[in-house]
């Protein structure tokens, strides 16, 4: 992944720079479900459209439903996918609104679904979006510019206990209490409006011994981003909605970039691939048999070669499943 921070112009340069994570593996896993006539695939996290472009090129009979809450991403992906405009439906919504997106596309079942979770290259590389702790920018962090909640608002309005909770839960930050206290103390003197201000507060509150495990602001910024965009709450709803929409022999592929996301995906896939028969039942009835089978053993990681060529592939965890029962109407 990765793009320049230019405006919508120079799309070709942006496409050249943007490298989708695990592109070949995603296409390989989805291929058995997409080869054939009148197939439907959802790219639930469209971003810059790299994965979508590859699927539309590889499968000439596929219709793509692309979902993103970011209007900028939809505009840029639309330009990139313009050669396939007769086979694409782009929808601005959060990715748990699978049913609503399918309504817009005029279908009720899909053959493949892809999720590439986390912050996109477009959002991360545009400094003014405020996602990065390494570049000074307004504390925004919204994936959807129409949302009312920003990181600045969270830092200004949440109490110390609530800030501590989100740093612990969404950032798995051991110094959550220290950072929350420092933020509240600082904002009493001046509002926190930029990423540089927040980084300075975290730096000052970090003991020297705790500086050995990466940048001290990393987990706080992750926690704020997740809170602002309700990422885990959306994902908790999105995976079951996606599983429900997959047709018989259809497939779902999910790439996560941190353990909190991966746990949600792992739990949902495990439930869908297990028998629902009550304990002690001597014979498993057909209606209790698993609806999905797992296509990956655990979570797959990027190869050393891909990580070297595309550092944003380093934390990826990929899981995939295929529907083996139900939804064949």
Dihedral sign, CA of 211, 212, 218, 219?
A: negative
Report residue 256 CA to chain centroid gap: 7
**133 carries a ligand binding annotation:** no
How many angstroms separate the Cα of 195 from the Cα of each of 135, 191, 203? 7, 12, 12
Residue 192 structure tokens: 């926190």
**116 carries a ligand binding annotation:** yes
DSSP E strands, the chain: 39-43, 62-68, 88-92, 110-116, 246-256, 292-294, 317-323
| Location of structure tokens 């995603």 | 26
Question: Backbone phi, then psi, for 231, in 5-degree steps?
Answer: -60, -45
Residue 324 structure tokens: 């083996």
**171 carries a ligand binding annotation:** no
**144 carries a ligand binding annotation:** no
How many angstroms separate the Cα of 191 from the Cα of each of 188, 195, 198? 7, 12, 10
Q: How far apart are CA 221 and CA 212, in angstroms?
A: 18
Report the SS3 class of residue 35: coil
Which distant-in-sequence residues (6+ apart) come within 8 Å of 303 by Cβ? none
Residue 84 · residue 97 · CB < 8 Å: no
**51 carries a ligand binding annotation:** yes
**118 carries a ligand binding annotation:** no
**16 carries a ligand binding annotation:** no
- Which residue positions form the known binding site for S-adenosyl-L-methionine? 49-51, 68, 95, 116, 123
Numbered residues of the known binding site = 49-51, 68, 95, 116, 123
């Amino acid at each position: 992944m990765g793009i320049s921070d230019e405006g919508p112009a120079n799309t070709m340069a942006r496409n050249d720079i943007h490298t989708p994570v695990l592109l070949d593996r995603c296409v390989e896993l989805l291929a058995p479900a997409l080869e054939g006539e009148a197939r439907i695939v959802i790219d639930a996290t469209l971003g810059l459209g790299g994965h979508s472009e590859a699927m539309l090129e590889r499968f000439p009979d596929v219709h793509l439903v692309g979902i993103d809450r970011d209007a900028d991403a939809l505009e840029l992906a639309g330009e990139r996918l313009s050669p396939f405009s007769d086979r694409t439906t782009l929808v601005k919504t959060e990715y748990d609104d699978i049913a609503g997106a399918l309504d817009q596309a005029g279908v009720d079942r899909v053959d493949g679904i892809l999720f590439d979770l986390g912050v996109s290259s477009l959002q991360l590389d545009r400094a003014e979006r405020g996602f990065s702790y390494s570049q000074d920018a307004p504390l925004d962090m919204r994936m959807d510019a129409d949302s009312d909640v920003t990181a600045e608002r969270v830092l200004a309005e949440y109490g110390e206990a609530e800030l501590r909770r989100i740093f612990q839960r969404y950032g798995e930050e051991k110094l959550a209490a220290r950072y929350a206290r420092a933020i509240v103390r600082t904002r009493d003197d001046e509002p926190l409006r930029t990423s540089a201000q927040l980084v300075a507060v975290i730096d000052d509150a970090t003991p020297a011994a705790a500086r050995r495990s990466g940048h001290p602001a990393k987990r706080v910024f992750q926690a704020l981003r997740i809170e602002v965009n309700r990422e885990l709450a959306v994902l908790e709803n999105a995976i079951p909605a996606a599983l429900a929409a997959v047709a018989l022999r259809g497939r779902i592929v999910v790439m996560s970039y941190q353990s909190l996301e991966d746990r949600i995906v792992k739990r949902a896939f495990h439930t869908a691939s297990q028998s629902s028969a009550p304990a002690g039942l001597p014979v498993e009835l057909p209606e209790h048999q698993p609806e999905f089978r797992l296509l990956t053993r655990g979570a797959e990681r990027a190869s050393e070669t891909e990580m070297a060529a595309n550092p944003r592939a380093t934390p990826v965890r990929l899981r995939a499943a295929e529907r083996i029962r139900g939804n064949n109407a």
